[in-house]
Amino acid sequence: MQPRSTKTTSTVVDPTAVRPPIDDVDEIIRTTPAEMRDVLTRLKAQGFSQLTDVGGADYLRRSPRFDVVYHLTALPTRVASIAEVGKPKRVRVLCGVDEGVSVPTVYDLWPSANWAEREVFDLFGIAFSGHPDLRRIEMPDDWEGHPLRKDYPVRGPARDRTPRPPFPGKENVGSRIPPTREAAERLRREINERLHHDDHQTSEEKS
Amino acid sequence: MSDHLPDWIGSEGNPPNFGDPTAVLEPEPYEVVSRSDDEMVLSMGPQHPSTHGVLQVVLGIDGETVKRAEPEIGYLHTGIEKSAENLFWNQSLTVIDRMDYLAPLTNNFAFCRGVEKLLGITGQVPRRAQQIRVMMAEMTRITSHCIWLGTHAIDLGAISPFFFTVDLRENILDLIEAASGARMNMTYFRVGGINGDLPEGFLERLDEVIAKFPRRMRDLRDLLQKNPIWTDREVGVGVISAEDAVAWGLTGPSLRASGVAYDLRKIEPYSTYEEYEFDVPTRTEGDCYARFLVRLDEMEESMRIIEQVRKNLEPGPIMVNEPAVALPPKPSIGLSMESLIHHFKLVSEGFRVPAGDVYGAVEGPRGEIGYYIVSNGENRPWRVRTRPPSFYNLQALRKIAAGNLIADVVVMIGSLDPVFGEVDR
């Protein structure tokens, strides 16, 4: 299948370094796996009580290759009215990870990290050290590869394309593969011969 | 001898061979039922009518009491995020619809808002488009809650509410269909506005639904709210405290039923939400009944918003005046060559979005639905990460279920309102 139009003007290898003029979070913090745990512990102590999301991103040609993206929201941890909730502060933590490096888990800080980290592990292959139950969550347990990586093909892994065994009595029809010109010619000749033979016989019988 | 008995009964011959009765059957690879010391492991689902989709819950039970519940998900994983990365920006809206298939328009809403932030056109989206977006999002919220209430009631053995809610949903879906052309997966929103204006006669039909709505809600409340069977099943079941709800990542009605009034429409108003008068229903009990009441109240508040939008709806354009994003008006294509070329380029190549990353979120029927979108300056998103509210809400079942009765697991799943298109994506 031909790729669709892929004309590009300027492709940015590290989009997170480019900041558009927007204000979706109050602060963006960039860390490394070694410091990540300290940063998130400090943020939790500052009142970021909800781990809104943990996600991943793969920047194929960048070093470090992956980002683990944490979104935190500072919500009151008690019964609170709208005025008390106010406009909660949000922070995004980007943790750059290279292939084969594991990230410490934050499951003990926020229990909601459990499934989210499993999903990042499943779809990107980033391991979380200290996670109590690091299994695949979306893909089957025996799946090979991590589908959301950029070098993983969209239509799934290349499968073994051994042709199906032919149906009995139809050896001339290859499965999936169209017959070669010679095979098609031979088939057509055989069919014609049989037809003419039948015609001949029927005309003989009639006469 | 009666004739409907098998032949071998009462006959001289041996009964048919049912296999070697002494043979030991090999256990299935996934243990369905097993026992440890004082805990029995019971697998519920994934083919179960009350799990609202393909959810498997592995329950550790002691007698009738659930000691632990471990939901197993992933049976509906379709790789929507991967698909979206390989489509143009406006095309990816069509697959994003399919995540939360009960409320597709809020998915569109969140994604469009994120992309608009990246493009820097958030403030330029016309007022009429914003108002129609709000109206459609609130209609979607009601239709989604209708399905939740109907199926939740069926889970608990009450069949009639389903007919009431589906009738109401039908009326609203007719309106959405008139505007967008589809009943499910509407893709009515576009980056920069909406697909088409409201059709003729839409507002009159909306008035009919608005007039019918209070009566329907009263019927539903009469049927369920003070029904002793209903309250027996719901009150005090699946309690989660405010602190736990925040820590487990609950959002939306499930969080508000625990007492934290966190509603993005109120605290970070977007798309003219700041202009409307509505309350954020909040309860403090944190049980299934509180979640039920919060959602019921929310339906009425949604209708209040729709009424106000309908009253204040202003004429005007419905698409941003930004040729880089918006298609040229259809009549101009036949008249001007530039419009034709422009139209062709936008359809065949899409538009490019400046590089950067952004998080855009709206208040969906199940909670905060957000998109973390990364663009590298091309005509396709580099990464679309969904913040799925159902995923986090369902995860909290592990916290909620412990200590409850096994029969109440169904009630708790229903009260968390998961949609598996969104949980598994």
The minimum CA-CA distance between A164 and chain B, rounded to whole Å, is 27
Question: Using omega within 30 degrees of 0 as the cis cutoff, is the peptide bond preceding B331 cis?
Answer: no
Q: Annotate A98-131 with DSSP letters as a single string.
A: -TT--EE--TTT-TTHHHHHHHHHHHH---EET-
What mean pLDDT do residues B45-52 have? Answer: 77
Considering only alpha carbons, which residue of chain B is nearest residue A152? B82
Closest CB to A77 among B242, B268, B395:
B242
Query: Could you give the number of structural domains in chain B?
Result: 1
Task: Give SS3 for A27.
Answer: strand
* A30 in contact with chain B, both atoms CB, cutoff 8 A: no
CB contact under 8 A, B399 and A9: no
Residue B30 has pLDDT above 80, yes or no: no
CA nearest B151: which of B288, B50, B290? Answer: B50
Q: Which runs of E-coded beta strand occur in B115-267?
A: 189-190, 193-194
Question: How does pLDDT run across B296-327, given as a tens digit for each residue?
Answer: 999 999 999 999 999 998 898 888 888 888 88
B279-286 mean pLDDT: 90
Residue A105 has pLDDT above 60, yes or no: yes
Judged against a pLDDT cut of 50, whether residue A51 lies above it is answered with yes
* CB-CB under 8 Å, B376 with A12: yes
Report the pLDDT value the prediction gives residue A2, as an integer from 0 to 100.
Answer: 36
Q: Around A110, how many Cα atoms within 13 Å sit in the side-chain half-sphere? A: 34
The CATH number of whichever domain residue B286 belongs to comes to: 1.10.645.10
Read off the pLDDT band of B257 (50, 70, 90): very high
Residues A94/A104, Cβ–Cβ less than 8 Å: no
Nearest CA in chain B to A112: B248
A16: contact with B, CB 8 A cutoff: yes
- Report residue B365's pLDDT band, with 50, 70 and 90 as the boundaries: very high
- Asked, for residue B11, whether it belongs to a domain, the answer is no
> Mean pLDDT throughout B245-258?
91
- The conformational region for residue B168 under phi > 0 = left, psi -120 to 50 = alpha, else beta, is alpha
At B52, the pLDDT band (50, 70, 90 cuts) reads confident
Domains and CATH numbers, chain A: 21-129 (3.30.460.80), 172-207 (no CATH)
Cβ-defined contact of B261 to A80 (cutoff 8 Å): yes
**What is the pLDDT, as a whole number, of residue A3?**
39
Estimate to the nearest angstrom the gap between the alpha carbon of B283 and the chain centroid: 21
Q: Is A13 on the interface with B (CB under 8 A)?
A: yes
Segment B386-413 shows an average pLDDT of 90
- From chain A, pick out residues whose CB is under 8 angstroms from the CB of B81: 148
User: Is A111 an 8 Å CB contact of chain B?
Assistant: yes
Quick one: DSSP state of residue A80? B
Domain that holds residue B410: 82-424
Q: Which of A39-53, B18-32, B100-114 has the lowest mean pLDDT?
A: B18-32
Q: Is B7 exposed, middle or buried (0-12, 13-18, 19+ CB in 10 A)?
A: exposed
Q: Do residue B356 and residue A7 have CB atoms under 8 angstroms apart?
A: no
Percentage of residues in chain A having pLDDT higher than 70 = 76
The predicted-structure confidence for B393-406, as pLDDT tens digits, reads as follows 999 998 888 888 88
Q: Under DSSP, is residue A73 helix (H, G, I), strand (E, B) or coil? A: strand
Task: Check: CB of residue A68 under 8 Å from CB of residue A113.
Answer: no
Q: What is the pLDDT of residues A13-36, one digit of tens each?
A: 777 777 655 667 888 888 998 998
| Residue pLDDT, tens place only, B160-169 | 899 999 999 9
In a domain, B65, yes or no: no
Nearest to B52 by CA among B102, B97, B98: B102
3-class SS at A91?
strand
B20, part of any domain? no
B140 neighbors B103 (Cβ within 8 angstroms): yes
Q: Quickly list H helices, B196-287.
A: 202-224, 228-234, 242-247, 253-256, 264-267
Element (H, E) at A104: strand A103-104
pLDDT at B8: 53
Query: What average pLDDT is seen over chain B?
Result: 86
Residue B26 maps to a domain = no
- Between chains, do B372 and A53 touch, taking CB under 8 Å as contact? yes
pLDDT band at B204 (very low <50, low <70, confident <90, very high): very high
Phi, psi of B59, deg, nearest 5: -105, 135
Cβ contact, residue pair A86, B267, below 8 Å: yes
Q: How many angstroms separate the CA atoms of A48 and B226, rounded?
A: 39
B82 vs A contacts (CB less than 8 Å)? 147-148, 154
